[in-house]
Amino acid sequence: MSGTPAGRHYLNSAYGIRSWLLTVDHKRIALLYLTSVTLMFMLGGVFAALVRLELLTPAGDFFHADTYNKMFTMHGIVMVFFFLIPGIPAVLGNFLIPMMVGARDLAFPRLNLLSWYLFTIGAVFTLFNIVIGGVDTGWTFYTPYSSAYTTTNIVPVALGIFISGFSSILTGLNFIVTIHKMRAPGLTWFRLPLFVWAHYAYSIIVILGTPVIAITIVLLALERVFHLGFFDPALGGDPVLFQHFFWFYSHPAVYIMILPAMGVISEIIACFSRKRVFGYSFVAASSLAIALLGFLVWGHHMFVSSQSVFAGLIFSILSFLVAIPSAVKVFNWTSTLYRGSISFQTPMLYAFGFLGLFTIGGLTGLMLATLGIDVHVHDTYFIVAHFHYIMVGGTVMAYLGGLHYWWPKITGRMYPEWWGRLSALIVFIGFNLTFFPQFIVGYLGMPRRYYAYPPEFQVLNVMSTAGASILGVGYLIPLVYMIWSMRYGKAATANPFGATGLEWQTSSPPATENFAEPPIVTEEAYAYDRIPVPERGVYAG
């Protein structure tokens, strides 16, 4: 447990590009993912910036409508399929789950490497399509526009998403088998960290949902290339069937993004308030409840697509029900904070940011689940604001918080605390300035996906674009100091935050086989009353 970067660990156990590209070590694969996912995030961010630039003025000044359509489509595809969905599980989950269950690696290390390659190949197909002209359907690929009318490159993008879907499936499969079969002696289900529970629920959704989008994409491609009829109304096919298929996966995909984020938040809040998580078993079970209920609500995306009012009513009620396990989590985190010994480290600031943004996103979700309101704000910026609060506000805050929290474990170096807190603050301010005006402008009636708008919406759009540039700065700061800290950061001890959990019981960075000896677990997670608070000097910036 020496914990200095001088020792032998997974980063210096082998050198050279081959040792990375052929690695089967889950920790190295996590870093491969970190690199790819960060690249995709930056790319998606560039498209977002271009979209916001166009919307700075009411007239379409910068791009043609076609170009604008391709911009927001690529922003959506890249961010959803190549950042938000794989982000936390592929990077943090890959790195941490074997360690958290006390295993030497995931159950199927070579499958894990394969899933990174599939992710990369999928990303290449998708990026290749930008080079040859882009796609203009929006990330939802609604038929029959996508299958019969658009002249843009649906098939390469569909193939890219199909391939990266297999990457998700294999990751989920690996997690499920690892969590079931590779737990250390004494690590019972109800001693698992909530991060593991969240990833278990995530894996269930991935296993059950991703194959459905995969077959949907296959059918779309078959219809487009071979003119087989499935969704084409000219043949009697039903375009709304495509929407059912699409949302059967893509609504649960929101929980694919947010459940791992919730796992991260549980770890951070317990550590930085130095308390057991209030209602541990309820938080664990609520992950499973979200996973199961999440499959029953896809119809709330289709209130205005010829669905019967009765079906709409059922989907509306079921959508309300998902709020219950989500609220269970938020209230339990709040109760954990109550009378806790809170320290405002960077990860905790990001966690607070998560709580605020997720709550706003969740409550507006209740508004949208209400049939009447949804019909009013359908396909307006209100929707855009809502899902950015949930998917981006929730997932990115947790991703950055988790990255800071486990950074010492991953790299063996501390991040600069002052800069970390600054970035958390800027991201929070920038995010709210970007997306809160969109609630208002959407409620006033500005539709989404339009490249020009009436002049009365300009003030709110300028605010939003200004916020986006602040948000961009907030994301760039961690990028710079994280890279800086890998070389110049202070050496981290094995457990700089004084946290519980098996991953903190090995050196930072861990050895290739994770633990010198297989750990034996004798108590529940989050026994923070047994661990002394580390001295301030250890992690002060």
Partner 1 sequence: MPAEARVAGPKTAHAHQFEDAGQQREAVTLGMWVFLVTEILFFGGLFLAYAVYRWSFPAAFTLASRHLDVLLGGVNTVVLIGSSLTMAFAVHAAQTGRRRALSLFLLLTMLLGGVFLGIKAVEYHAKFVERLIPGASFMMSEENAPAHFDPATDPAIAAGVPSVDPGAEADLQRHAQIFFSLYFAMTGMHALHMVIGLGLLTWLLFGAARGRFRPGADAPVEIVGLYWHFVDIIWIFLFPLLYLIGRHA
- Chain contacts with partner 1 (rule: CB under 8 A): 13-14, 19, 22-25, 98, 103-110, 169, 173-174, 176-178, 180-182, 207-212, 214-216, 218-219, 222-223, 226-230, 234-238, 241, 245, 512-513, 518
List Cβ neighbours of 35 (8 Å cut-off, separation of 6 or more).
Answer: none
Q: Is 48 helix (H, G, I), strand (E, B) or coil?
A: helix
Task: Indicate the residue type of 458.
Answer: Q
Kindly state the smallest distance separating residue 64's Cβ from partner 1, in Å. 33
Kindly state the smallest distance separating residue 109's Cβ from partner 1, in Å. 6
CA distance 385 to 353: 16
Angle at CA of residue 274, ends 417 and 185, nearest 5°: 110
Closer to partner 1 by Cβ: residue 101 or 135:
101
Closer to partner 1 by Cβ: residue 29 or 48:
29
Residue 491 DSSP code:
B
Kindly state the smallest distance separating residue 45's Cβ from partner 1, in Å. 32
CA distance 482 to 470: 19
Closest CA to 205 of 329, 288, 261, 322: 288
Closer to partner 1 by Cβ: residue 222 or 521:
222
Kindly state the smallest distance separating residue 211's Cβ from partner 1, in Å. 4
Residue 281 CA, chain-centre distance (Å), reads: 23
Residue 450's alpha-carbon distances to 280, 320, 453, in angstroms, are: 45, 30, 7
Kindly state the smallest distance separating residue 12's Cβ from partner 1, in Å. 12
Closer to partner 1 by Cβ: residue 230 or 539:
230
CA distance 536 to 528: 17
List Cβ neighbours of 341 (8 Å cut-off, separation of 6 or more).
Answer: 273, 274, 275, 533
Kindly state the smallest distance separating residue 298's Cβ from partner 1, in Å. 13
Closer to partner 1 by Cβ: residue 241 or 444:
241
Closer to partner 1 by Cβ: residue 237 or 416:
237
Tokens of 405: 């929290």
Closer to partner 1 by Cβ: residue 184 or 477:
184
Closer to partner 1 by Cβ: residue 181 or 376:
181
CA distance 431 to 468: 7
Q: Are residues 364 and 319 in contact, defined by beta-carbon separation less than 8 angstroms? A: no
Kindly state the smallest distance separating residue 208's Cβ from partner 1, in Å. 6
Tokens of 65: 């409508």
Kindly state the smallest distance separating residue 248's Cβ from partner 1, in Å. 8
Tokens of 260: 């791992």
CA distance 171 to 414: 29
Closer to partner 1 by Cβ: residue 155 or 228:
228
288 by Cβ neighbours in 10 Å (0-12 / 13-18 / 19+) ranks as middle
Kindly state the smallest distance separating residue 468's Cβ from partner 1, in Å. 37
- Torsion, Cα 360 365 367 372, to 10 degrees, reads 160
Closer to partner 1 by Cβ: residue 109 or 356:
109
Kindly state the smallest distance separating residue 243's Cβ from partner 1, in Å. 13
Kindly state the smallest distance separating residue 214's Cβ from partner 1, in Å. 6
Closer to partner 1 by Cβ: residue 98 or 442:
98
Tokens of 500: 């519980």
Question: Helix H segments across 80-147?
Answer: 87-88, 94-100, 109-131
CB atoms within 10 A of CB 107: 18
